[in-house]
């Protein structure tokens, strides 16, 4: 795993800050770019890269990753909001769960030992891949089920623009969705990721919100979720400015580039490639966690 | 169609959904551009001063200097000036989604949607509590 020829146990010993910054900036750029193309976000690759390839302490890695997640979310959300896909009511209501979960997760991060965090991270990566590969049950909006009582009470139903004109949708199983969102929040706070995949699953598959609306709303929510654990990360010293700087700038620039070319690129193959990489990283994280190398 | 306003048929008062969306979009973009600019300034100072030193991220320093302190940015602590700037930019970045939620509170109030005003105030309180009470102490 020592791809750079440095002693991984020593955080790239011998590397100057300038070299490290350049490498991290380059990889973060690529991660942000692929993350935007595949919709998985850049955070899932950053932590394994920093810890496995560069030997960075996992606490610094998740701190840097969490900050980059906020940057990507703000960037993506500002674009999506304009297009009218995101459902702000749904997002705001579910943020009750994600913010509380994220605080719990950030506290857990301090209690749980780094190797255990690495193992959990690895499992989350692998589960992500399985969900990504699993067949999608089909567009939810074609099933005209009535929205549940809570959704009606909160007026969560909405509509979005499509090629066929305005499509209305109904929201279901709000409480199950809220529960799953709390789990997404815990994982976000614990692992410094956006938990975008789980958020989309909660909205798209559980609450039966159309996929496009789910992804846009998820992007919108990720920044708020991450911000609620970022304060605790700051307090604990997880966010090191020297390391976070290239991660944040790289992921941000990469994701902006990624959303620009999103329209023209065949994403299925790319996504499969990304899935394979993430699966391998997940296995590597678990192995390194179990052997106590991280 | 995606804003608080849209699912409300009687949208005679307050901001329209499109207006709210535009303001939120601009708010996020402004926060992002500002924070990135401050981080870049800090990065230039930090790399010019410390670029040649050896990177040490394999050990977690529990008692690292607090780069959020204003004196590290502008005061005599010039050793930390670059990182102080970067940190200021990062704090700005973290504040952006919080500002977005705060703005949503205003939007829901203006739309007389009191249930969602309460929901949004709750989220804002959680955020502020976490950042100021649990975080920046």
User: Could you give the ipTM of this predicted complex?
Assistant: 0.87
Q: Which residues of A touch B56 (CB under 8 A)?
A: 11
Band (pLDDT 50/70/90 cuts) for residue A15 is confident
User: What pLDDT score was predicted for residue A28?
Assistant: 95
Are residues A224 and B123, on separate chains, in Cβ contact within 8 Å?
yes
Nearest CA in chain B to A93: B119
Q: How far is A115 from chain B, CA to nearest CA, in Å?
A: 14
Instruction: Determine the average pLDDT of the residues in A122-126.
Output: 94
Is the pLDDT at A33 greater than 90? The verdict is: no
Output the average pLDDT for chain A: 85
The whole-angstrom distance between B71's CA and the closest CA on chain A is: 16
User: What residue ranges do the domains of chain A occupy?
Assistant: 13-290
**Residue of A38 and B57 predicted with greater confidence:** B57
**Contacts (Cβ under 8 Å, ≥6 apart) of A235:** B134, B135, B136, B137
Specify the range with the lowest mean pLDDT, choosing from A100-109, A131-140, A271-280, B58-67.
A131-140
Chain A, nearest residue to B20 by Cα:
A81
Least confident of A49-58, A90-99, B72-81: B72-81
Chain A positions touching B32 (Cβ under 8 A) are 71, 74-75, 78, 252
Query: Which residues of chain A lie closer than 8 angstroms to B82, CB-CB?
Result: 241
Question: Over 90: is that where the pLDDT of A134 sits?
Answer: no
Domain locations in chain B? 17-135
Q: Which of A62, A113, A228, A259 to mutate to test the interface with B (most CBs of B within 10 A)?
A: A228
What would the 3-class secondary structure string for chain B be?
A: CCCCCCCCCCCCCCCCHHHHHHHHHHHHHHHHHHHHHHHHHHHHHHHHHHCCCECCCCCCCCCCCCCCCHHHHHCCCHHHHHHHHHHHHHHHHHHHHHHHHHHHHHHHHHCCCHHHHHHHHHHHHHHHHHHHHHHCC
Contact of B87 with chain A, judged by CB distance below 8 Å, is answered with yes
CA of A251 to nearest chain B CA: how many angstroms apart?
12
C-alpha closest to that of B40 among B9, B85, B72:
B85
Is there a contact between A93 and B25 if contact means CB atoms under 8 Å apart? no
For the stretch A199-209, pLDDT in tens is 988 998 899 99
Q: Please, what is the Cα angle at A187 between A150 and B37, to 5 degrees?
A: 100
Question: Mean pLDDT, consecutive 10-residue segments, chain B of 137 residues?
Answer: 44 64 86 95 93 86 65 58 88 92 93 94 95 73
The confidence band for A102, taking pLDDT boundaries of 50, 70 and 90, is very high
What pLDDT is stored for residue B103 in this prediction? 93
**Interface check B42 vs A, CB under 8 A:** yes
Minimal-distance CA residue of chain B relative to A66: B94
Number of other residues whose CB lies within 10 A of the CB of residue B11:
15
How close B34 comes to chain A (CA, Å)? Answer: 12
pLDDT at A59: 93
In terms of C-beta density within 10 A (0-12 exposed, 13-18 middle, 19 or more buried), how is residue A131 classed? middle
Whether residue A74 has pLDDT greater than 60 = yes
- In degrees to the nearest 10, what's the CA dihedral of B127, A229, B119, A172? 170
Cβ separation A92–B58 shorter than 8 A: no
A123: three-class secondary structure by DSSP: helix
**Contact B123/A78, CB-based, under 8 Å?**
no
Across the A:B interface, residue pairs with CB atoms under 8 Å apart total: 234
State the pLDDT confidence band at A54, using cuts at 50, 70 and 90: very high
Shortest alpha-carbon distance between residue A62 and chain B (Å): 12
Contact check, Cβ <8 Å, B101/A75: no
Considering only the beta carbons, identify the residue of B51, B58, B84 that sits closest to A11: B58
| pLDDT classification of A70: cutoffs 50, 70, 90 | very high
Q: In this predicted model, which residue has the larger pLDDT, A73 or A24?
A: A24
Contacts of A113 (CB under 8 A, 6+ apart): none
Cα–Cα distances (Å) from A257 to A82, A253, B37, B39, B74, in that order, read 18, 6, 18, 19, 34
Of A8-17, A208-217, A278-287, which one has max mean pLDDT? A278-287
pLDDT in tens, A244-270: 999 999 999 998 888 777 555 556 777
Rounded mean pLDDT, A27-47: 82
Distance CA B86, CA B92 (A): 10
**Token pair belonging to A282:** 């997940």
Confidence of residue A186 (pLDDT cuts 50, 70, 90): very high
Q: What is the pTM of this model?
A: 0.87
- B30 to chain A nearest CA, in Å? 10
DSSP string, A192-230: S---HHHHHHIIIIIS---HHHHHHHHHHHHHHHHHHHH
């Amino acid at each position: 795993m020592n791809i750079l020829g440095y002693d991984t146990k020593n955080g790239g010993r011998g590397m100057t800050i300038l070299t490290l910054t350049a490498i991290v900036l380059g990889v973060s750029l690529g991660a942000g770019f692929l993350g935007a193309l595949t919709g998985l976000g850049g955070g899932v690759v950053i932590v394994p890269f920093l810890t496995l390839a560069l030997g960075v302490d996992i606490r610094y890695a998740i701190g840097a990753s969490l900050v980059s997640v906020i940057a990507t979310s703000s960037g993506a959300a500002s674009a999506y909001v304009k297009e009218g896909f995101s459902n702000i009511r749904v997002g705001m209501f579910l943020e009750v769960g994600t913010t509380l979960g994220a605080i719990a997760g950030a506290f857990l991060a301090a209690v749980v030992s780094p190797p255990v965090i690495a193992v959990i991270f690895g499992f989350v990566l692998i589960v992500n891949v399985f969900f990504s590969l699993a067949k999608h049950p089909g567009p939810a909006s074609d099933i005209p089920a009535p929205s549940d009582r809570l959704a009606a009470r909160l007026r969560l139903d909405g509509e979005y623009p499509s090629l066929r004109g305005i499509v209305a949708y109904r929201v279901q199983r709000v409480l199950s969705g809220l529960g799953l969102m709390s789990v997404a929040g815990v994982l976000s706070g614990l692992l410094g990721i956006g938990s975008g995949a789980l958020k989309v699953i909660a909205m798209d598959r559980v609450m039966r919100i159309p996929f496009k609306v789910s992804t846009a709303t998820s992007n919108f929510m990720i920044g708020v979720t991450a911000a609620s654990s970022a304060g605790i990360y700051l307090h604990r010293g997880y966010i090191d400015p020297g390391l976070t700087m290239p991660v944040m700038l790289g992921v941000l620039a990469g994701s902006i580039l990624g959303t620009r070319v999103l329209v023209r690129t065949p994403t299925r193959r790319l996504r499969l490639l990304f899935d394979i990489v993430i699966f391998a990283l997940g296995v590597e994280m678990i192995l390194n966690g179990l052997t106590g190398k991280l | 169609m995606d804003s608080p306003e849209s699912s409300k048929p009687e949208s005679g008062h307050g901001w329209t959904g499109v207006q709210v969306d535009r303001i939120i979009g601009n708010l996020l973009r402004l926060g992002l551009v500002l924070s990135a600019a401050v981080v870049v300034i800090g990065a230039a100072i930090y790399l010019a001063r410390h670029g040649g030193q050896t990177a040490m991220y394999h050990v977690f320093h529990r008692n690292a200097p607090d780069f959020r302190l204003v004196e590290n940015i502008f005061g005599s602590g010039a050793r930390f000036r670059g990182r102080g700037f970067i940190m200021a930019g990062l704090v700005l970045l973290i504040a952006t989604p919080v500002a977005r939620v705060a703005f949503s509170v205003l939007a829901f109030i203006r739309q007389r949607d009191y249930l969602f005003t309460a929901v949004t105030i709750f989220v804002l309180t959680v955020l502020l509590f976490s950042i100021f009470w649990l975080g920046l102490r």
